[in-house]
Amino acid sequence: MILVKNSLDILMSKGFSTSWIRMRLPYDNIARSTILKNYITRKYPSFDINLVDVGCGSGNFIVWSINQSLFFKECLLIDNNQYLLDDIKSNIKANIKKTLTIKTKRNNKYHLITGKDKVLSELKIKRMDIKKINNFPDGFNIISLSAIVDLMSKSILNKILSMVDENNTLFCSLCFDGTVKWKPSHTHDKYILKFFNDNQMTQKSMGVALGFTAIDYLKNRAKKLNMKIKMCKSPWLIDNKSLVNRKFILRYLLDVKKSLFCMEGIDKDILRKWYIDKKKCIDKKEISLLVGHQDILLYK
Ligand SMILES: C[S@@+](CC[C@H](N)C(=O)[O-])C[C@H]1O[C@@H](n2cnc3c(N)ncnc32)[C@H](O)[C@@H]1O
């Protein structure tokens, strides 16, 4: 079984693996701000609203929403990665309160149930490439883009912004802001971060990604489109105290190393030294990590 899972991860290494998305979940949960909940509580006090989560992965955003008691009547979860979509049910099951259950209905539909049979939410899972989305069905009040905006190109973001009107709100959460701070710092941190941010702005599955510049791009477009915008920091702050944290930092470190190794212009000796020194710090329980994100709410 372990062998099957590992080889799946290797197969998925060009996309996002279920193991990475699952590992992120507790750090994402702590990082997420309250701006969406505050906004919904004010704007839709009866909570009679629907959500579409674009690039939902294994459903980490919906898990967080459920744990915040944000129960959307209908949730449409869209991603193009079938491995991640297949993991949604068990991810939700493993990470919500035991008083709630998730029941499979037909045609990729699930019900979130409380008590004996009270349906709190209907979840629909759809495999689809974001590039092919031209509009959202009527009645979806919240459009969620979680941990994905930095992967998007200008044209995809423009398309999504053009779908925001008086009846819905765009919530871009965990938008990477280009900041990575290590403690203790290393002489080559700046060098590595520059390559990392350059790598984030290369061709990805939705065109040339904006990387951390997506935040400014969204801000400027929102101004031009007369949209209101609310922002709040949502960083990962990870200390060295627990083994789980150290494993997560190690995985992050490895992924950075792997993604930069084949980049044009990178000095592989510097990269190797940086990686080895960081790994030593992790082994000595001397490391902590901050990865900057912003949550951004956009509406008309
Ligand atoms: C960093 S993950 C975030 C997942 C999830 N939103 C979360 O918060 O955990 C980025 C997600 O974007 C999805 N994705 C990337 N390109 C896509 C595309 N062209 N169409 C649909 N989904 C895409 C990936 O499969 C992955 O699930």
**Separation of alpha carbons 31 and 237, rounded Å:** 8
pLDDT value of position 5: 39
Amino acid of residue 126: K
pLDDT value of position 138: 86
Is 205 touching ligand 1 by the criterion CB < 6 Å? yes
**Separation of alpha carbons 191 and 189, rounded Å:** 6
Amino acid of residue 181: K
Distance in Å, CA 274 to ligand 1 centroid:
29
Q: What is the CATH number of the domain that holds 272?
A: 3.40.50.150
Is 80 touching ligand 1 by the criterion CB < 6 Å? yes
SS3 (DSSP) at 57: coil
pLDDT mean values, one per 10 residues, the chain (300 residues): 39 72 97 98 94 98 97 97 97 96 95 95 97 91 98 97 96 98 98 98 96 98 97 98 97 96 96 98 96 98
The boundaries of the domain holding residue 171 are: 2-299
CB contact at 8 A, 122 and 75: yes
Average pLDDT in the chain: 94
Name the residue of 12, 24, 51, 80 to mutate for ligand 1: max ligand atoms within 8 A of Cβ: 80
Q: What is the dihedral of CA 155, 215, 69, 50, to 10 degrees?
A: -20
Residue 270 has which token pair? 């510097």
**Separation of alpha carbons 246 and 283, rounded Å:** 8
Count of C-beta atoms within a 10 Å radius of residue 40: 22
- DSSP code, position 74: E
pLDDT value of position 14: 56
pLDDT value of position 13: 39
Distance in Å, CA 210 to ligand 1 centroid:
15
pLDDT value of position 15: 83
Is 59 touching ligand 1 by the criterion CB < 6 Å? no
Is 61 touching ligand 1 by the criterion CB < 6 Å? yes
Distance in Å, CA 220 to ligand 1 centroid:
24
Per DSSP, helices labelled H in 44-137 are: 60-67, 82-95
- pLDDT tens, position by position, 3-28: 343 433 333 335 899 999 999 999 99
Contacts of 33 (CB under 8 A, 6+ apart): 173, 232, 233, 234, 295
Q: How many domains does the chain have?
A: 1
**Protein residue closest via CA to atom 11 of ligand 1:** 55
Query: What pTM was estimated for this model as a whole?
Result: 0.94
Atom of ligand 1 nearest to the CA of 53: 6
Is 206 touching ligand 1 by the criterion CB < 6 Å? yes
Contacts of 117 (CB under 8 A, 6+ apart): none
**Separation of alpha carbons 251 and 11, rounded Å:** 17
**Separation of alpha carbons 24 and 248, rounded Å:** 8
φ, ψ for residue 223, nearest 5 deg: -60, -50
Angle (CA) 35-36-39 rounded to 5° is 85
Residue 73 has which token pair? 């009547």
Site of tokens 């989305």: 133
Distance in Å, CA 22 to ligand 1 centroid:
13
pLDDT value of position 210: 98
Distance in Å, CA 55 to ligand 1 centroid:
4
Helix, strand, coil fractions of the chain, as percent rounded to 5: 45, 25, 30
Distance in Å, CA 87 to ligand 1 centroid:
13
Count of C-beta atoms within a 10 Å radius of residue 93: 14
